[in-house]
C-alpha cells in the first residue's frame, strides 16, 4: 500500500484503521507453494480469523488449521458456502484440528465431521475414543523450539520416547493414527529446529512401521517466519533445507502438510492511527495515539512482537516515546522511536501487523478495536 492510499483510507474510515491487502496474502501463499511444492499449506486461522482472509486463501487452494470449535465452524461454513456446487459430507482434506487438548463438547460436535485431530497424551486419546470415535488422529511430538519467538514445546507434544506407545494404544482402542505432527515454535528463525524435528518424526514413523502401522500424514506445523526485519531469514533458504530432508527421510507418497499463520498474513496488514496527545517527560517528547497494546498492538503483549512506528511527515527526527490511548501504564508502545516532530491530528502507521494483533483486540477501558478495511479482494 502506498502512503497516499493509506492516508485516503484513514480519511474515509477514520482511525485507528487496519488495512489488509489481499494481494499480499495471495503473494505470500504462492511463494510458500513455490518454495515447498510437496507441502500443502493449512492456514493457522488463529493468526487472523477474518472470514475475508479465509475466503481468499480458500480460493487460492489453502486448507486450514483450526484450534477451537468456533474456528472450525468459521472455516467449515465458508467452505460450504463457497463450494456449493461441490457439496461434500466431510472436511478431511480441508481442515485439521491441531489443538492437542479439546473440551468434551467440542469433540462431540466435531465427531459427525470425521475430522483429523491431534493428541499428545493418553487421557486425550481416551476422550477422543469416547466422544469423537469417527475422528482420525495425529500424534503431536515434542521437538526443539530453540530460538523461536514463541516457545510451544513446554505446553504441547509427547516425548519422542513415548510416541510408539501412544500410537499402539490408539490402534488398540480402534482409532486410526493417520499422522505425526510437530511445531517448532512460532516465528522460528533457527532452521535446525525443523531439521531435528523432521529426523525425530522419521524415527517415530519407522518405529510404527516396524510394528505394522504405516503413517500416511506428516504435519510439520507452523513457525515459518514473517519478514518483520532484515535479520529474518527468507523462506527460500529454509525451504532448501526442508526439501532436502523431506526427500532424504520420507517416501515420495507421504502426504505432508504445514500450518503457516503469521507467514501468510503478517505482512498483509498496516495500521494507521492518529496522534491524540503530546507531552514532554523524562527528557524526551512523548506521543499518544488512538490505539493501544490492548487493541491492534496486542501482539506486543501476547506475541512478543515489536511494530516500529512510522509517519507521513519528513524532517529531522528525535528519539521519542509512543503511548497507547488507555489509562494503563502498561500501555506503552515504544520508548525509543525515531520520529520528526508531530502535531496532534497527524497520522502514524505500523506495518507487518496482520498476525496476532487485531485478532486479540479487546474493549479494555471502553475503547473498541480498530476498524478493519480489506483491499484488493
**For residue 290, what is the domain's CATH number?**
2.40.37.10
Over 90: is that where the pLDDT of 267 sits? yes
pLDDT of residue 130: 97
Beta bridge partners of 63: 42
The answer on 48 and 170 residing in a single domain is: yes
Query: Given pLDDT bands bounded at 50, 70 and 90, which one contains residue 91?
Result: low
Query: Given pLDDT bands bounded at 50, 70 and 90, which one contains residue 325?
Result: very high
pLDDT of residue 92: 55
Q: Which of 265, 283, 302 is the last residue of a domain?
A: 265
Phi, psi of 328 (to 5 degrees): -95, 135
Is the bond into 16 cis (omega within 30 degrees of 0)? yes
The answer on 287 and 300 residing in a single domain is: yes
The answer on 161 and 298 residing in a single domain is: no
Domain with residue 30: its CATH number is 3.20.20.10
The answer on 214 and 225 residing in a single domain is: yes
Q: Where are the beta strands (DSSP E) in 50-160?
A: 63-66, 95-97, 116-119, 136-140, 148-150
- Count up the domains in the chain and report the number: 2
Query: Given pLDDT bands bounded at 50, 70 and 90, which one contains residue 82?
Result: low
- 204: nearest Cα among 242, 169, 163: 163
Q: Which domain range does residue 113 map to?
A: 22-265
The answer on 319 and 226 residing in a single domain is: no
The answer on 245 and 147 residing in a single domain is: yes
The answer on 273 and 254 residing in a single domain is: no
Please report how many Cα atoms fall inside a 13 Å half-sphere around the Cα of residue 150, on the Cβ side. 19
The least confident of 146-155, 165-174, 203-212 is: 146-155
pLDDT of residue 87: 42
Active site residue 327: yes
- 129: nearest Cα among 167, 174, 168, 95: 174
Question: The whole model's pTM is what?
Answer: 0.94
Give dist(CA 28, CA 268) in Å, integer: 9
The answer on 288 and 241 residing in a single domain is: no
Other C-beta atoms lying within 10 Å of the C-beta of residue 54: 22
Over 80: is that where the pLDDT of 10 sits? yes
Over 80: is that where the pLDDT of 146 sits? no
Q: Locate cell 532448501: which residue? A: 240
The answer on 258 and 312 residing in a single domain is: no
Average pLDDT of span 139-158: 80
Please report how many Cα atoms fall inside a 13 Å half-sphere around the Cα of residue 265, on the Cβ side. 29
Query: Given pLDDT bands bounded at 50, 70 and 90, which one contains residue 79?
Result: confident
The answer on 158 and 95 residing in a single domain is: yes
Residues 6+ apart with CB under 8 A from 198: 220, 242, 245, 246, 249
Average pLDDT of span 105-120: 94
The answer on 211 and 78 residing in a single domain is: yes
The answer on 247 and 296 residing in a single domain is: no
* Residue of 305, 311, 320, 327 with catalytic role: 327
Q: Which of 265, 289, 308 is the last residue of a domain?
A: 265
Over 60: is that where the pLDDT of 90 sits? no
pLDDT of residue 151: 61
Q: Which of 265, 289, 315 is the last residue of a domain?
A: 265
Mean pLDDT of the chain: 93
Using alpha carbons, list the distances in angstroms from residue 60 to 49, 63, 64, 148, 377.
16, 9, 12, 28, 12
Amino acid at each position: 500500500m502506498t502512503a497516499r492510499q493509506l492516508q485516503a483510507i484513514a480519511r474515509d474510515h477514520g482511525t485507528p484503521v487496519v488495512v489488509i491487502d489481499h494481494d499480499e496474502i495471495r503473494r505470500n501463499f504462492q511463494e510458500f507453494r513455490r518454495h515447498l511444492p510437496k507441502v500443502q499449506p493449512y492456514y493457522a486461522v488463529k493468526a487472523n480469523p477474518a472470514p475475508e482472509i479465509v475466503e481468499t486463501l480458500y480460493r487460492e487452494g489453502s486448507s486450514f488449521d483450526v484450534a477451537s470449535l468456533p474456528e472450525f465452524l468459521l472455516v467449515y461454513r465458508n467452505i460450504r458456502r463457497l463450494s456449493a456446487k461441490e457439496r461434500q459430507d466431510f472436511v478431511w482434506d480441508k481442515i485439521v484440528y491441531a489443538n492437542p487438548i479439546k473440551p468434551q463438547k467440542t469433540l462431540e460436535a466435531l465427531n459427525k465431521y470425521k475430522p483429523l485431530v491431534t493428541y499428545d497424551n493418553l487421557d486425550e486419546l481416551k476422550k477422543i475414543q469416547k466422544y469423537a470415535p469417527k475422528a482420525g488422529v495425529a500424534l503431536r511430538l515434542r521437538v526443539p523450539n530453540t530460538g523461536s519467538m514463541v516457545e510451544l514445546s513446554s505446553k504441547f507434544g509427547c516425548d519422542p520416547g513415548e510416541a510408539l506407545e501412544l500410537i499402539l494404544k490408539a490402534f488398540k482402542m480402534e482409532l486410526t493414527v493417520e499422522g505425526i505432527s510437530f511445531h517448532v515454535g512460532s516465528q522460528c528463525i533457527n532452521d535446525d529446529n525443523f531439521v531435528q524435528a523432521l529426523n525425530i518424526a522419521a524415527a517415530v514413523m519407522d518405529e510404527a512401521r516396524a510394528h505394522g502401522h504405516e503413517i500416511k500424514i506428516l504435519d510439520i506445523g507452523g513457525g515459518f517466519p514473517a519478514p518483520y526485519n532484515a535479520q529474518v531469514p527468507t523462506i527460500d533458504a529454509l525451504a532448501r533445507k526442508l526439501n532436502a530432508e523431506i526427500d532424504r527421510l520420507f517416501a515420495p507418497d507421504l502426504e505432508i502438510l504445514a500450518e503457516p499463520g503469521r507467514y501468510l498474513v503478517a505482512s498483509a496488514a498496516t495500521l494507521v492511527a492518529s496522534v491524540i496527545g503530546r507531552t514532554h517527560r523524562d527528557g524526551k517528547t512523548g506521543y499518544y495515539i488512538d490505539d493501544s497494546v490492548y487493541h491492534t498492538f496486542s501482539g506486543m503483549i501476547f506475541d512478543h512482537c515489536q511494530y516500529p512506528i512510522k509517519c507521513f511527515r519528513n524532517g529531522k527526527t528525535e528519539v521519542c516515546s509512543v503511548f497507547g490511548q488507555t489509562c494503563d501504564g502498561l500501555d506503552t508502545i515504544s520508548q525509543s522511536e525515531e520520529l520528526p516532530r508531530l502535531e496532534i491530528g497527524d497520522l502514524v502507521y505500523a506495518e507487518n501487523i496482520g498476525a496476532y494483533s487485531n485478532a486479540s483486540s479487546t474493549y479494555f477501558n471502553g475503547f473498541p478495536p480498530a476498524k478493519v478495511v480489506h483491499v484488493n479482494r
